[in-house]
Amino acid sequence: MKPMTKMTAALLAGALFAFPALSAELRIGLQDDADVLDPAQSRTFVGRIVYTAMCDKLVDVSPDLKIVPQLATEWKWSADGKELSMKLRDGVKFHDGTAMDAAAVVATIERNMTLPESRRKSELSSVAKVEAAGPLEVKFTLKAPDVTLLAQLSDRAGMIVSPKAAKELGANFGSKPVCAGPFKFVERVQQDRIVLEKFADYWDKDKVFVDKVTYLPIPDTTVRLANLQSGDLDMIERLAPTDVAAVKGASGFKVDSVVNIGYMALYANIANGPRADNPFGKDKRLRQAFSLAIDRDALNQIVYEGTAVGGNQPFPPNSPWYNKALPVPARDVEKAKALIKEAGFERVPIEMQIPNNPVAAQMMQIVQSMVAEAGFDVSLKSTEFATLLDEQTRGNYQLSRSDWSGRVDPDGNIHQFITCKGGINDTKYCNADVDKLLNEARASTEDAVRKQKYDAAAKILNDELPVIYLGHQSWIWAYKNSVTGFAASPDGMIRLVGVKKS
């Protein structure tokens, strides 16, 4: 073998220094698998976690729930509240190398408003038109004042996608999404993994310290935690409350938690296809009886170890938007029985679909037992979460447990679920009075006026109960000590800008 020359040694050393010694990969365990990875079409909570790394929005939400700049650097409303002007960040590129500019924003918003498969239409229903007022300035013209628009633009409705990719892929955009976030899409294997890698041309790349992110859906909370403890995962979301003490007591791990701004709820099929033709969907007295048969405080204490609170509205009891005149109902089995009898029944059979994770399963087994005492014979149908949502959309259910992660503006917790043409109105409940109240709440810039509208809507909804709210849980994350820079947020997102892994 020939001896190594000085030049060869120098070239080898240069190559070693040019290539990173360690590539930082973050492996994150998710409770569910995401649905389609198209911001216009998707609806899962875990999908939003993935988007937080992949798809920047016009504005973001800070841990203290303030609207802050992201792709838009500043914005202003017209005096009449019917125009929103936004200045965009210069030099931003999509993952395919094309420019993120005003034309791209207009194309994305119009896609969200017109794509047949889009779920963002109701979120942007107040927008009459969006146009480029300059290369890096956009103007939204509204049909009527809508103070909720900024909050909508801090989520999927405001995630700007590559017009080139959107045009090429159409409704199949989710097979290879192209956005402008810190990480770009690499691959997806359904029910197994979603892989992203650092985008070299990200506008804030100096604050991105992780090279690769792999999201792994693991519905079983025990298995998810075991994977963290064994070193196969670096972080997990939705640690089971029963495991918090054990993780805190173990060396090498951290736990963060914060009460969320969303809710846990049951959706009754009121008018969504043939399966709505059942007593529970047709008679509000049965839904009232079901709600009265549940002890919400006991339910949340047992399942969530005191980290969740009972609720009966889309806003938690400590929210300024909560209607205190309608407190969480105490359990009343005798009154529930009387309502069932008044409706003409002794026993009421119900099929309830639930997500296939142990915590939700435990909670709904307890509900099943509680309501049985009043006269409900509940059969539980466990399914993967994305499938559950698809069944809800298609109306293939009687009663379904589905949680909502919450939005910074109250409108985001109620309008799209309850209004007649709401984008996620899987119950197909429709009440003109409720629509009027919620649309008026959107149009007012006065919090007191909005509160009055939400209170009035809550009174109707607590009587008719298309959605039976159960409570409000905390987001709980567990992760290795080697992961630093993570900030817990009430919206439940995992923001990776600034996060390091040593």
- Among the listed residues 325, 282, 295, 274, the one whose alpha carbon sits nearest the alpha carbon of residue 464: 282
Q: Are 453 and 434 in contact (CB under 8 A)?
A: no
pTM above 0.85, yes or no: no
At residue 382, φ and ψ (nearest 5 deg) are: -90, 135
- Alpha-carbon distance 30 to 492, whole Å? 12
The position carrying tokens 């047949």 is: 116
- Alpha-carbon distance 376 to 348, whole Å? 5
Give the pLDDT confidence of 451-472 residue by residue, as tens digits: 999 999 999 999 999 999 999 9
Q: Give the 3-state secondary structure of 400-450.
A: EEEEECECCCHHHHCHHHHCCCCCCCCCCCCCHHHHHHHHHHHHCCCHHHH
Q: Are 139 and 83 in contact (CB under 8 A)?
A: yes
Q: What is the pLDDT of residue 259?
A: 82
Whole-Å CA distances, 200 to 12, 88, 197, 204, 501: 25, 20, 9, 10, 18
* Concatenated DSSP letters of 4-33: PPHHHHHHHHHHHHHS-S---EEEEEESS-
Statement: 183-260+478-501 belongs to CATH 3.40.190.10: yes
Domain boundaries, the chain: 56-170, 183-260+478-501, 263-472
Give the pLDDT confidence of 327-380 residue by residue, as tens digits: 999 999 999 999 999 999 999 999 999 999 899 999 999 999 999 999 999 999
Which strands form 263-268's sheet, in the order they lie side by side? 309-310, 467-472, 263-268, 399-404, 348-355, 376-383
* Concatenated DSSP letters of 86-147: EEEPTT-B-TTS-B-SHHHHHHHHHHHHH-TT-S-TTTTTTEEEEEEEETTEEEEEESS--T
Is 164 strand, coil or helix?
helix
Q: What CATH number has the domain spanning 263-472?
A: 3.10.105.10
pLDDT above 90 covers a percentage of the chain that reads 88
Q: What is the pLDDT of residue 8?
A: 45
Q: Are 246 and 58 in contact (CB under 8 A)?
A: no
State the fold for domain 56-170.
Dipeptide-binding Protein; domain 1 (3.90.76)
Give the pLDDT confidence of 125-168 residue by residue, as tens digits: 999 999 999 999 999 999 999 989 999 999 999 999 999 999 99
State the CB neighbour count (10 A cutoff) for residue 326. 15
- Among the listed residues 287, 291, 275, 269, the one whose alpha carbon sits nearest the alpha carbon of residue 343: 287
* Concatenated DSSP letters of 220-280: -HHHHHHHHHHTS-SEEES--GGGHHHHHHSTTEEEEEEE-BSEEEEEE-SSSSGGG-SHH
State the CB neighbour count (10 A cutoff) for residue 80. 9
Q: Which band of pLDDT confidence, cut at 50, 70 and 90, is reported for residue 318?
A: confident
